[in-house]
Amino acid sequence: MKLRRLHRRLAVLMCMSGVIAFLSGAGLDSVAAVPTLFALVLALFWQASPNATIRLERVLLGLSILLAGRALYHVFFMPDDVVIPMADLLLLMVGAEALKSLDALNDGRLYSLSFALLIASTAYRPSILFGIAFLAYTALATVALMVGHIRRQVERRGLREPELARSFLLRMAALSGVALAMSAVLFIAFPRVSRGWASRTVTEERAIVGFGDEVSLAEHGGRIYANPEIVLRVEFPDGRPGPSQQMYWRGRSYDHFDGVRWSHSPSLPLSAATTPYAIGWGGLATIRQLIYALSLDTHVLFGLHPIFAIRPRSRIRPFMDESGDFNYFGNVPPVYEVESYAGKPSPERLQRASEGRAPAADFYLQVPPLSDRVRILADSITAGKATRYEKVRAIENYFHTQFGYTLELPATARQATLEYFLFRRRQGHCEYFSTAMVIMLRSIGIPARNVNGFLGGDWNEFGSYLAVTQNRAHSWVEVWFPGYNWVRFDPTPAASETGDRNATAWYWPMRFIFDGAEHRWDKWVLDYDLDKQVDLFHRAAEQFSRPNETGTGAGHGDTPFGTAFRWLIGLIAFGIVLAGARSAFNRPRVSEATRGYLRLRRAYERAGYPNAPSTPPLTFVRALHEAHAPGANHAEKAVAVYVHTRFNNEVLDDYRKEELKKEVDAARKELKRSRSKVTSDK
Amino acid sequence: MKHATSFKIFGNALAFGLIAVSDGIHHPKLFAIPVVLAVLTGADALRPKPRPTTGEDLTIVRQRIKPTGWRARVQQFFRPPRRLHFARSGWAFTGGIFGIGFAALNTANNLLYLLLGGMLGLIVLSGWLSEQALRSLIVRRRVPRGITAGEPARIGYEVTNNKKRMPTLALEVREAGSGQRAFMAGVAPGATSFARADITYERRGIYLLVELTLATTFPFGLFTKERDIELGGTIIVWPRTDRVVRPPMPGGTRARRMGSLAAGAGGGRGEYRGLREYRSGDDPRDVHWRSTARLQTPVVREYERDESDTLWLCLDLRAQPGETAENGVEIAAALAARAAAGGERFGFASADTEVQAGSGAAQLDMVLDALAGARFRPDAPRVVPPAAPSECVLITTGDTDARFGDVYLADRGGA
């Protein structure tokens, strides 16, 4: 293939990598992205003629002016994202440059524009696709820059193009691994001391049904469809806990129900926010969770309940609101560590709980105007139950045994009511069950509230974390127990359809692998910070310093890793020594005659009769004579021996060896004598 | 010169700085080390480049080639085995690195660190590949037998790439101290390529070629890496032969023959002397075909010539080196060329050397060689004419000698 065509294709592929990197961050928000991709694909196989290039430029000039005006308008007059209008302009230029004729020397512009797209994509939070595009870009840039440079040199000098074998081009692409390795080293080692003086990272915030400020039961018609998007990735620093199906990832609680929707009371007093410290949970084990959450529009922090410590790992500021829910300030995806009590207090302890009054009890005993049938039903279920715990369990059990679970929504608005659910339909989704239980408990004077979150999750072996999808969205009940605060109960029957369906889907293993990679990308690239850096270096240092517990290592107090590393260093050192010895051994040996001759030349050079390395021996002697150098006659004899031996290809016998040595020594002696004479004269 | 030096110092500082940063040296005190090194190595730009020797100071050939003195030794010690120059795109690329680096620090955006690392990685790769391109090369120089002052001489370079897999691309070869370069687009592994450079020497003389500089902008054209290799050689720059001179008139008899003796003209030969190898410019009719066929090499008959037919050019070296002296050399060269073109027999003598009489192009080459090496000095011995002075032509800068048949005064040109 001609160099210029090869070069253009490589540059176009670089641009494609840049566009894909940009798409991985900004998505399809930019109107020019898809047309540009089409133009780039076209440019791989077709280029405009020089005349057509001129016409193309005229058309694109007008378009560029329009887009530049739009970009300026956004910069100065619009408060929204300015990157998209700028990127549109950039993309248009990329497409136009790629389609130009092969004669156009626009490789520098293609490099710069494609690189600008990479930079533009860093303004977002791109997916792992950015990483793949970056790898491709680096490999392509290595080859394209090289081919482009050769092309320019050849065209400038009017030379014949050199043959560039395909294997050589592939090797060059593989050598981009050096650049990538350098990139990785710098990325890992460069101290992340800066927290961003003027950072701007746009993160798209997602809205999930059921996690807003209000939750409504009024939806009807149709069905709740599965949504496998992952919202939480949870790592357990202390090791994988037991089965995850009973993990309730608590998000928001709601205290006020108007018959149709749940909401937060704006006037909820601060005293409603209770903590689990120094109360009945104390004896339980704790569980640590490191949670990587999706950016949601409600800014809720999820975790196992009850949470007694929360530490941010990304640039967010967590806070607890009046109801004890955890929220945060910040516009980046929340990453945080949570410490909670595992499980919940035993039934015996809850049985013994006293009948105290809950803080802000008025809010948690609020009941909407419903018919008495609800209270009568609750009374009938709890009749004969002495303690609060027994009553709660009776109602919970009632739903477990008498009701069914379905994702089908009620057919009409009239059917989408609590009473219709309790007395007619007797099946529904989790919101109905939790709402019904809360209202029934409140009707018999037990403070309770509705809570939303996620239930369970799917363990990702590839990434060693629990993936919680939107399918896992759930609603349950919290009941107030004096001394224990809010305790979780779940009235929803166990026949959930969602989790199992995910786990058996044919694509699920693939999705796990991809999600595991995405998680690593987020964790180790996008969210890599000083803490992770320090932690990484500590762990690396530990690999060398940690004593060998088994005592089977080669060296006392060595880790197997440290031993292997020492072996590696030793092997490298041995290789270097071997290579040096081989080089020294292969060096052409200087004959004895040559050594004597060089000794003579060095002596005269030091004495102030310098000679060029290229000066032939006889010229050297003649120069000595002309300069009346001391010992010139001896030097001449020595050189004669040298020339005779060297150029007749003879071996220096003992007699000649002796003669050469004698003449060289004599010449040096005379030189020395003349120097000392000059010194004494002075 | 000062600008060039400061640029070089700055360039080296930048290059060392980049290496230092990429090596993870962030401490300001440690950063001073590459800066000091850069200044020391960059300072070699202050040292005059080895100037091509000229005819008027041929003594340089036997004088200092290597620098002496402590300063030169220190510079020599610190002089890097490779030199790096920034191309315009290299400056832009380096500027981009600083820009991205600042942006990465400013925004704490990890992806910018990734891009920064990638750019630095390309520089490291560039350094490594350019080093590979300059290694394992065998260079041979092809110098013409002699070149004429003021005319471009075509010097050829034959480069053999001894690497097993890696081609050498975008290679430039130039003589140390010369701006003219020979360019090779590529030398495949194990192959040999050839390129030429046109170099013009303005003054006649015997030039010692000491070093060659190999340079490459491979792989990305961001930097030019240079490496010097020692490759001795000699190039003989003949004086110009196109100076207009009057016909010589030694002994009054030469005038009759000058211009009338075409090559091989009848009556121009004396007694048959023997056979010898053919030399450039010999009369083709003198080729002894039978011997040529037997020996497989051209052989010509040689005849005794009448000494009175020989034009002896005697150059007086007793003069200060300079323009006038060079005029004398050029007059002698023009007279020799004129005689060679006319098929005449001619010889040359000066205080230092003597070229036996002969004819033809090969004889002209020998005389021009002698003229190229002519060394003027006021204390030079007087030239001894190899034949009767009245049969010789003297070329002198001023001290005329009435014994000679004809005298050319250098300061009067060829008149």
pLDDT tens profile A113-171: 999 999 888 888 888 999 999 999 999 999 999 999 999 888 888 888 887 888 888 98
Mean pLDDT computed over A379-384: 91
On the question of a cis peptide bond just before residue B219, with omega within 30 degrees of 0, the verdict is yes
Cα(A321)–Cα(A328) distance, integer angstroms: 10
Cα(B300)–Cα(B276) distance, integer angstroms: 6
Dihedral angle of Cα B286, B290, B291, B294, to the nearest 10 degrees: 150
Quote the minimal CA–CA distance from A96 to chain B in Å.
23
Cα(A231)–Cα(A233) distance, integer angstroms: 7
> Which of B63, B114, B209 lies nearest to residue A187, judging by beta carbons?
B114
Cα(A40)–Cα(A38) distance, integer angstroms: 5
Query: Given the structure tokens 């007797």, which residue do they identify?
Result: A426
Write the pLDDT tens digit of every residue in A293-324: 887 778 889 999 888 889 988 888 998 888 88
Quote the minimal CA–CA distance from A171 to chain B in Å.
10
Q: What percent of chain A has pLDDT over 90?
A: 21
On whether any CB of chain B is under 8 Å from the CB of A186, the answer is yes
Average pLDDT, chain A: 82
Mean pLDDT computed over A645-658: 74
Write the pLDDT tens digit of every residue in B364-412: 999 999 999 898 988 888 888 888 888 889 998 877 766 788 888 887 7
A408 DSSP 8-state letter = B
Which of B59, B89, B125 to mutate to test binding with chain A, by most A CBs within 10 Å of its CB?
B125
Query: Given the structure tokens 């300079």, which residue do they identify?
Result: B322
Where residue A379 falls among pLDDT bands split at 50, 70, 90?
A: very high
Q: What is the pLDDT of residue A645?
A: 77
Residues facing residue A396 across a β-bridge: none
Tokens of A497: 């359809």
For residues A235 and A464, the answer to whether their CB atoms sit within 8 Å is: yes
Average pLDDT, chain B: 77
On whether any CB of chain B is under 8 Å from the CB of A678, the answer is no
Quote the minimal CA–CA distance from B26 to chain A in Å.
10
For residues A120 and A19, the answer to whether their CB atoms sit within 8 Å is: no
Q: What percent of chain A has pLDDT over 70?
A: 85
Range of lowest pLDDT (A91-100, A576-585, B292-301, B334-343): A576-585
Number of H helices, E strands in chain B: 9, 16
How far apart are the two ends of chain A, measured CA to CA in Å? 76
User: Which among A386, A389, A382, A385 has a CA at the least distance from the CA of A351?
Assistant: A389
Write the pLDDT tens digit of every residue in A170-213: 988 898 998 899 899 999 988 887 655 544 455 555 555 556 67
Tokens of A160: 């014949």
Tokens of A462: 């590839």
Q: What is the pLDDT of residue A413?
A: 75
Q: DSSP characters for B94-146?
A: HHHHHHHHHHHHHHT-HHHHHHHHHHHHHHHHHHHHHHHHHSSEEEEEE--S-
Residues whose CB falls within 8 Å of the CB of residue B360, separated by 6 or more in sequence, listed in order? B279, B280, B281, B282, B340, B343
Q: DSSP characters for A269-315?
A: -GGG----TTSGGGGS-EEEEEEEE--BTT-B--EESSEEEEEESSS
Q: What is the pLDDT of residue A1?
A: 64
CB within 8 Å of chain A, chain B residues 6-35: 22, 24, 26
Q: What is the pLDDT of residue A522?
A: 86
Quote the minimal CA–CA distance from A655 to chain B in Å.
32
CB within 8 Å of chain B, chain A residues 507-566: 525-529
How many C-beta atoms surround the C-beta of residue B257 within 10 A?
14
Write the pLDDT tens digit of every residue in B193-236: 999 998 888 889 888 787 888 999 989 999 999 988 877 778 88
Residue of A646 and B270 predicted with greater confidence: A646
Q: Does the pLDDT of residue B122 top 90, yes or no?
A: yes
> Which of A148, A179, A195 lies nearest to residue B125, judging by beta carbons?
A179
Where residue B72 falls among pLDDT bands split at 50, 70, 90?
A: low
Which of A83, A135, A187, A527 to mutate to test binding with chain B, by most B CBs within 10 Å of its CB?
A187
Q: What is the pLDDT of residue B414?
A: 59
Query: pTM of the prediction?
Result: 0.69
Q: Does the pLDDT of residue A493 top 80, yes or no?
A: yes
In chain A, whose CA is at the least distance from the CA of B122?
A: A179
In chain B, whose CA is at the least distance from the CA of A108?
A: B89
ipTM: 0.70
Q: Does the pLDDT of residue B3 top 50, yes or no?
A: no
> Which of A161, A187, A194 lies nearest to residue B105, judging by beta carbons?
A194
Write the pLDDT tens digit of every residue in A512-545: 788 888 888 888 888 888 888 888 888 888 776 6
Cα(A218)–Cα(A216) distance, integer angstroms: 5
Cα(A588)–Cα(A601) distance, integer angstroms: 20
What is the rounded radius of gyration, in angstroms, for the C-alpha atoms of chain B?
29
Backbone angles phi, psi at A88, to 5 degrees: -60, -45
For residues B394 and B351, the answer to whether their CB atoms sit within 8 Å is: no
Work out the angle at residue A155's Cα, subtended by the Cα atoms of residues A152 and A158, and round it to the nearest 5 degrees. Answer: 145
Residue of A358 and B247 predicted with greater confidence: B247
User: Which among A426, A397, A400, A431 has a CA at the least distance from the CA of A494?
Assistant: A400
Q: Does the pLDDT of residue A398 top 90, yes or no?
A: yes
Work out the angle at residue A29's Cα, subtended by the Cα atoms of residues A24 and A35, and round it to the nearest 5 degrees. Answer: 85
Q: What is the pLDDT of residue A324?
A: 83
Q: What is the pLDDT of residue A598?
A: 86
For residues A208 and A299, the answer to whether their CB atoms sit within 8 Å is: no
- Angle formed by the axes of helices B28-42 and B2-22, to 10°? 140
> Which of B112, B128, B208 lies nearest to residue A612, judging by beta carbons?
B208
For residues A140 and A14, the answer to whether their CB atoms sit within 8 Å is: yes
H-type helices in A483-555, by residue range?
Answer: 498-504, 508-521, 530-545
CB contact under 8 A, A612 and B24: no
Residues whose CB falls within 8 Å of the CB of residue A566, separated by 6 or more in sequence, listed in order? A555, A558
Quote the minimal CA–CA distance from B247 to chain A in Å.
37
How many C-beta atoms surround the C-beta of residue B378 within 10 A?
10
CB contact under 8 A, A122 and B186: no
Cα(A155)–Cα(A161) distance, integer angstroms: 8
Q: What is the pLDDT of residue B231?
A: 79
Phi-psi region of A565 (alpha: psi -120 to 50; beta: other; left: phi over 0): alpha
Q: Does the pLDDT of residue B322 top 70, yes or no?
A: yes
Q: Does the pLDDT of residue A4 top 70, yes or no?
A: yes
Residue of A541 and A676 predicted with greater confidence: A541
Mean pLDDT computed over A571-575: 91
On whether any CB of chain A is under 8 Å from the CB of B169, the answer is yes
